[in-house]
């Protein structure tokens, strides 16, 4: 509440800064804007920045450091009987102090109640100090910037370089987030590889990630050979591509070359809806409709089919990624220059000859790119396989058996209470790293193929 009021006051000050700066600039040149180096509004923005930015930095610093500063101050003032406790107990006590001070819980002892009062008053003081600093900085900035305004001041250049810094900062957020994720994957994986060797993980054929909690426990030795996971992932993704590539490609050819414009305008968005269905819906469709159907059909034919067969998950995933293939293929087929088609027709080629001999070869790089993107999507897909594929890490190529995938295993490894120093939990990071590497490589290959193709016909 206090923070909200403070922010509003600062915002109002900043707006005032804009008005004052602009007015000052106009006053300096007697309302003849041609005499100014920059437009009056740039002077306004410049003053507003001097007013708002330092105050914003102070507030940001307060938000970041307030909790740790408070904690340090409160802890140092604790009475001896509390300060002597071990670290874990101390953390609990501090938690209680905070709850008493902020949410009005009742204190369990007089010492805690004292500490809570101390906490509350410190908190008020720190906030008041921060607010005072922010407000005085804002006013000082405003007064300073306004007094600096003169005819030749290059405020346009300054405002624009400030805007550029903002833009750079915005893009850096995304980049650093990615780097952070990769680093955390990397370091946790390194910890995992301290207990399980890289070669065992990458080439071992047995996966059973149960660690013994007590040393005398039996049957839970833990095996971290990820090969069955990789083969399971490839099997399901392979089935998905077998479904999606022919269907997607053929529908793209129909949409781009044969369909009447009115039909295309209706059907293409319908096809793309497939990509918008939540994957969890696909998941229960696979688990509750397709899998039992395949099992019953298999039984009728005298085959043994697992309830959670790779076939069911792969088929449904294939339907899901059809739009990835068809939409991209449709784009590249439409982008093949009309002159190539005319050249082929002019030689007496039929429509199908033109499509198979000229249009598709010309569009091939883009189509390959689309297929690779779909493949990376299929490999990284989680929800469908969590619901429809099994948990048993079978090393098999038989689509009628249950297999498990990298993503499914990551989910099961991390669901529930976990200890973060067990190889069982850390294995998830190693699997995530492998998954990330594969999909990143696929995406990069796909994008470079697509880009090379685009350069050719533009």
Partner 1 sequence: MSHSPSLPAKVRARDINVHYGDKHALKHVDLDIHAHEVVALIGPSGCGKSTFLRCINRMNDQVDSARVTGLLTLDGDDIYDRAVDVVQLRARVGMVFQKPNPFPKSIFDNVAYGPRIHGMARDQAELDEIVMTSLERAGLLAEVRDRLDEPGTSLSGGQQQRLCIARAIAVSPELILMDEPCSALDPIATARVEELIDELRENFTIVIVTHSMQQAARVSQRTAFFHLGELVEVGDTEQIFTNPQHPLTQGYITGRFG
Q: Give residues in contact with partner 1 (CB under 8 A).
A: 337, 339-350, 353, 357-358, 361-362, 456
> Rounded to 5 degrees, what are φ and ψ at 227?
-55, -45
Distance, CA of 271 to CA of 401 (rounded, Å)? 31
DSSP symbols for 330-385: HHHHHHS-HHHHHHHHHTT--HHHHIIIIIHHHHHHHHHHHHHHHHHHHHH--HHH
Kind and range of the H or E run holding 446? helix 423-457
CB of 258 to partner 1, least distance (A): 13
- CB of 250 vs partner 1, minimal distance in Å: 21
> DSSP secondary structure string, 79-113?
-HHHHTS-HHHHHHHHHHHHHHHHH-PPPSSHHHH
Burial of 164 (0-12, 13-18, 19+ CB in 10 A): exposed
3-state class (DSSP) for residue 208: strand
Report how far apart, in Å, the C-alpha atoms of 303 and of each of 190, 386, 399 are: 44, 24, 12
Q: How many CA atoms lie within 13 A of 178 on its CB side?
A: 7
- 3 state DSSP class of 210: coil
- Kindly state the smallest distance separating residue 344's Cβ from partner 1, in Å: 7
Query: Do residues 54 and 17 make contact, with C-beta atoms less than 8 angstroms apart?
Result: no
Beta-ladder partners of 207: 224
User: What is the smallest separation between the CB atom of 57 and partner 1, expressed in angstroms?
Assistant: 56
Which is nearer to partner 1, 280 or 357 (by Cβ)?
357
- In terms of CB distance, is 296 or 353 closer to partner 1? 353
Q: How far is the CB of 349 from partner 1 (least distance, A)?
A: 5
Beta carbon nearer to partner 1, 84 or 343: 343
Q: How far is the CB of 358 from partner 1 (least distance, A)?
A: 5
3-state secondary structure of 404: coil
- What are the residue ranges of helices labelled H in 149-278? 155-195, 198-203, 227-253, 261-276
| Least distance (Å) between residue 355 CB and partner 1 | 12
Closest approach of Cβ 456 to partner 1, in Å? 8
Helix (H/G/I), strand (E/B), else coil: 215:
coil
> Nearer to partner 1 by C-beta: 309 or 354?
354
Our CB check for partner 1 shows the closer of 289 and 350 to be 350
Shorter beta-carbon distance to partner 1: residue 309 or 344: 344
Nearest approach, Cβ of 386 to partner 1 (angstroms)?
A: 43
Chain centroid to CA 318: 23
CB count within 10 Å of CB 384 equals 30
Find the shortest distance in angstroms from Cβ 375 to partner 1: 24
The residue (of 163 and 347) whose beta carbon lies closer to partner 1 is 347
Nearest to partner 1 of 172, 357 (CB atom): 357
CB-CB neighbours of 215 under 10 Å: 5
B/e letters for 323-337, b = 16+ CB within 10 Å, e = fewer, are bbbbbbbbbbbeebe
Q: Which residues contact 391 (CB under 8 A, 6 or more apart)?
A: 402, 404, 408, 409, 412
Of 86 and 261, nearer to partner 1 (C-beta) is: 261
Quote the Cα angle for 89-94-98, to 5°. 150
In the complex, minimum distance from the CB of residue 326 to partner 1, in angstroms, rounded to a whole number? 22
- Say whether 267 sits in a helix, a strand or coil: helix
Q: Of 229 and 450, which CB lies nearer to partner 1 in the complex structure?
A: 450
Residue placing its CB nearer to partner 1 in the complex, 132 or 347: 347
């Amino acid at each position: 509440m206090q923070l909200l009021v403070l922010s509003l006051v600062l915002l109002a000050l900043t707006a005032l800064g804009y008005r004052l700066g602009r007015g000052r600039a106009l006053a300096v040149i007697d309302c003849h804007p041609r005499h100014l180096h920059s437009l009056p509004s740039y002077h306004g923005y410049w003053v507003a920045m001097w007013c708002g930015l330092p105050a914003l930095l102070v507030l940001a610093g307060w938000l970041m450091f307030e909790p740790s500063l408070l904690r340090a101050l409160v802890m140092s003032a604790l009475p001896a009987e509390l300060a002597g406790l071990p670290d874990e107990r101390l953390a609990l006590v501090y938690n209680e102090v905070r709850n008493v001070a902020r949410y009005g819980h009742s204190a369990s002892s007089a010492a805690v109640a004292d500490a809570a009062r101390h906490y509350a008053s410190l908190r008020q003081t720190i906030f008041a100090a921060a607010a005072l600093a922010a407000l005085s900085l804002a006013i000082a900035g405003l007064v300073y910037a306004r007094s600096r305004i003169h005819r030749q001041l290059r405020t346009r250049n300054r405002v624009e370089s400030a805007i550029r810094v903002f833009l750079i900062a915005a893009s850096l957020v995304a980049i650093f987030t990615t780097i952070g994720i990769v680093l955390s994957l990397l370091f946790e994986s390194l910890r995992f590889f301290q207990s399980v060797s890289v070669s065992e993980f990458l080439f071992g054929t047995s996966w059973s990630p149960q660690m013994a909690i007590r040393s005398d426990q039996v049957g839970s030795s833990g095996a971290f050979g990820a090969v069955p996971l990789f083969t399971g992932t490839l099997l399901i993704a392979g089935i998905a591509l077998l479904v999606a590539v022919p269907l997607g490609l053929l529908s793209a050819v129909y949409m781009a070359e044969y369909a009447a414009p009115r039909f295309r305008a209706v059907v293409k968005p319908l096809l793309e809806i497939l990509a918008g269905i939540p994957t969890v819906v696909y998941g229960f469709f696979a688990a509750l409709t397709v899998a039992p159907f395949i099992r019953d059909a298999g039984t009728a034919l005298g085959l043994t089919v697992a309830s959670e067969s790779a076939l069911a998950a792969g088929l449904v995933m294939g339907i899901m990624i059809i739009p990835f293939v068809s939409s991209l293929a449709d784009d590249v087929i439409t982008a093949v220059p009309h002159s190539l088609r005319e050249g082929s027709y002019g030689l007496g080629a039929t429509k199908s000859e033109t499509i198979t001999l000229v249009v598709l070869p010309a569009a091939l790089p883009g189509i390959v790119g689309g297929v690779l993107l779909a493949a990376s999507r299929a490999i990284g897909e989680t929800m469908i396989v969590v619901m429809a594929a099994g948990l048993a890490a079978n090393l098999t190529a038989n689509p009628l058996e249950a297999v498990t995938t990298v993503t499914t295993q990551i989910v099961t490894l991390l669901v529930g209470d976990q200890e973060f120093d067990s190889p069982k939990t850390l294995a998830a990071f190693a699997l995530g790293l492998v998954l990330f590497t594969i999909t990143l490589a696929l995406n990069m290959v796909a994008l470079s193929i697509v880009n090379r193709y685009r350069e050719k016909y533009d």
